[in-house]
Structure 1
């Protein structure tokens, strides 16, 4: 019986407990549902704010990077100049100059001696230095031979001619006369004869040109300065035109009463009317 009573009590409790728990559950769930909606709106706003901040930061960084001035390249640093280590205690080198050889000058022969033949010198006859004793001298003086003293010999000058003059051997009682080559006369410089300059002959009139000018048939003249014209032999000629190429006749002037021509030699012809 006790067990049945306990079971009934538990059944009654179970019936009353869900009814009591339902209001409590409803009272507990309503605040939670009301709080969920504000939490979602706040997270959305936070997300939008974060996205806007990221966009603003990215735009600012982009503008800064685009408008940033390009960095100037650093100036090149000069390389250090290496200075050789000089030993101040070392002895200074001694520079010995090479010996300068004296220039060898070759003796040039004289112009007159090389271009003209040298005449051989002739030796003068030997002359006795001692004079003859006078006839009135004593016999002792005539018997003793006279003492002959040699004359002082002067040094010979150097001869530049290729040929050397012959010399004679000196004796005890004679002196030798030094022969010197006489300078040859200088050759006369021949100048070419100048030809007399002849003036060119004056041009002469050509008979053929005179005959041709006389036979010209002039039918009209127009004198107007540089544009002057003349009608000759059924043809119009202007100033400086060639009238006849074979003879070289050229028209140089046109006047109402005369025509002036010239030929290849420069002679002037005039045909008057």
Structure 2
């Protein structure tokens, strides 16, 4: 792959998905694009660039973006967020839901589903009556392939290593694969989560506001300008008093013009309309 070809692919990845690839990532990009070339039987990077730049290559462009994204996830990753969710966030939201209110949670960049299912398990652990309440979790990702895996909700025993035994017993059922046993999340958990393909850089078709948003370890792959444009968009769909959880290496910059206030480790909240500040209550 020539420098010119790398630059062309990097520019397309940035324009379409906000991904940033410096020259130091050239070997990684070349390795992953080579797989697409072999799959398609295309003989050169220049021909591939022509394909993904054409109308006929629209689907391949999606597959290229998918091949360049990193999908690393685990259940209850950054566990302090789920402790805050259970102890500080859900009590009021559940009271609101039991009074007939609507509660919506968004897992943005959900990968293979561990994050939204961890949210769902946290809810079910404190709300056995959840099926009678109007609570839904929207889980989105740019990669349709990982969404298909997430929808099935089947994981290996190794992937369940960090899950409390009570959660494993209550929220998973054993299934057989060719070489052993896997675990599938129960219908009670799966019914809380709706998976949709979404590019965060494009239009967001959702209606209404979210009470909680998880967007963790996603924006670190974007350049600063893209990051600065995304945080106000998250604010625009967050309900008053709503919560935003970000990744362990992510912070909302002080120069950012939003009303999100830091209320805990990588945890932010909008003020309630009647309050001047957001606090861990």
**What TM-score, normalized to structure 2?**
0.14
Relative contact order, CA 8 A, sep 6+: which one is greater?
Answer: 2
Higher strand share: 2
Higher helix share: 2
Larger radius of gyration: 1
Query: How high is the TM-score relative to the length of structure 1?
Result: 0.14
